Amino acid sequence: MKDVDYIIVGCGLASIAFCEQLRAKKKSFVVFDDSSQQSSLVAAGLYNPVILKRFSEVWKANEQLSLASEVYAKIEKDLNIKIDYKLKILRLFNSIEEQNNWFNASDKPNLEPYLATQLLKNTNAFVNAPYGFGEVMHAGRLDTNTLISEYKSFLNTIDSFKEETFRYDGLQIFDKTLQYNTISSKQIVFTEGFGVKKNPFFNDVPLNGTKGEVLTIKAPDLNIDYAIKSSVFILPIGDDLYNVGATYNWTDKTNEPTEEGKQELISKLKTFINCDFEIVNHVAGIRPTVKDRRPLVGQHEKYSNLYLLNGLGTRGVMIAPYVAEKLFNFIEKGEALDQEIDVNRFKS
C-alpha cells in the first residue's frame, strides 16, 4: 500500500503547475497519465499579456506572468533543462486604422507596459507588411513538448508517475480518504483537459473543446528571430523551423490533423510571407475552452476530496501556475476561490 497526499489525473500544463505547488510544500503525490490528451503537447507555447486581435489586456496578466516566470525558471533549474525562451512578438498591421488602434491601446495604463509605442518598419523581403508592426513586450515561448516529456521522466525518478489510464470505477471514496488500487490518498485532482468529458464526477462542467491544428515548417530564406502575429502566427523554434497556427474548430473533437486545417493555415500564412517552405510536421489537439473564457477550478459538490483544475483554453502556459496556486491555497489553506474561476459559478 502506498500512502500519498494527492492523486493527480493528467500530465499537461495544469498538472505540472499543481505538482510544483505540491513539491514546494513537501506534499506527496502520484500522477496518472495515458497521453490521450494532446492540447498541451500541440500548443505552440506562445505566451503574451495582450489579446492581439483587439488590443486588450489578458485577464490577470501581471499576476500570471510573474508567477509563471518563477515556476518555469524553477523547473529549468531543478530538471536542468531549457524551456522558457524570451521572444519578441510583432503584431502585423493591415491598415492605418490598426496602427491608430494600437496607439490608442498603448495609452491605457494597464497596457502601457506591454505595447511599444515606436512602430517598426518591415525590412524583410520575404514578409509582406507595408504598414509595419507593433512590438509586444514581456512575451515568450515555452517549449511544451520538452517540458512535458522531461517532467514525466523526472516524476518517474521520484516514483510519482503511472503511465496508465485512470479507471474512474476503481476509485473508492470515503470521508477522509480515497482508495485507488494499492494507493491511498487524501485528495484527488483531475487535470484532464477535454478528457474530463469522460469523467463521471465532472462530466457536466460547461467545457466546450475547440480543436486546434499547428504546422511546423522549414523556411531557410525567412530568417526571422521574432514571432509574427497576423491572421495566424509564425513562431521561430530554431534551425530554420517555425510553428504556424492555429485553427479553431468547434465541431471536430478528434486529435487527428486534417487536410482542411492544413490548407487553412497555409492559405493564411501565404498572405504575409512569400518565401518557399516545407511542411515537416502537422499536429492537432482539443483545447479545453469555457464559454466565459475563464478556467474551471474547485471542489466537487458532493465529494469534498475531489477537485478539478481545467478549462485553461488557449493561454495555458500563462494561466496554469496562477490557477494551480489558487487551487492549492483553497484546499490546504481554506482560501476562497475567485468567483470567476470557481467551477460552481454556473450552478443555478
pLDDT in tens, 95-124: 999 999 999 999 999 999 999 999 999 999
Question: The whole model's pTM is what?
Answer: 0.93
| Neighbour-count burial of 297, counting CB atoms closer than 10 A to its CB (0-12 exposed, 13-18 middle, 19+ buried) | buried
Task: State the chain's mean pLDDT as an integer.
Answer: 94
In the predicted structure, residue 37 carries a pLDDT above the cut 80 = no
Q: Residue 316 carries which DSSP code?
A: H
Task: Report the SS3 class of residue 222.
Answer: coil
- pLDDT band for position 222 (cuts 50, 70, 90): very high
pLDDT tens for each residue of 225-236: 999 999 999 999
Q: 159-168, 215-224, 283-292 — which is least confidently predicted?
A: 283-292
Distance CA 347, CA 106 (A): 38
Q: Please count the residues of the chain.
A: 348
CB 20 within 8 A of CB 201: no
- Residue 10 neighbours by CB under 8 Å, 6+ apart: 31, 32, 33, 37, 190, 191, 192, 193, 195
- Where along the chain do the CATH 3.30.9.10 domains lie? 210-287
Where exactly does CATH 3.50.50.60 map onto the chain?
Answer: 2-44+145-206+292-346
State how far the Cα of 14 lies from the Cα of 22, in Å rounded to an integer: 13
Buried b (16+ CB within 10 A) or exposed e, 209-219: bbbbbbbbbeb
**With 90 as the cut, is the pLDDT of residue 331 above it?**
yes
Could you report the per-residue pLDDT of 67-82, keeping only the tens digit for each? 999 999 999 999 999 9
Is the model more confident about 239 or about 37?
239
Name the most confidently modeled range: 55-64, 248-257, 263-272, 339-348.
263-272
CA distance 67 to 72: 9
Architecture of the 210-287 domain: 2-Layer Sandwich (3.30)
Q: Has residue 215 got a pLDDT over 90?
A: yes
2-44+145-206+292-346: CATH number: 3.50.50.60
Query: Residue 205 gets which letter from DSSP?
Result: S
Residue 180, beta-bridge partner list: 171, 183
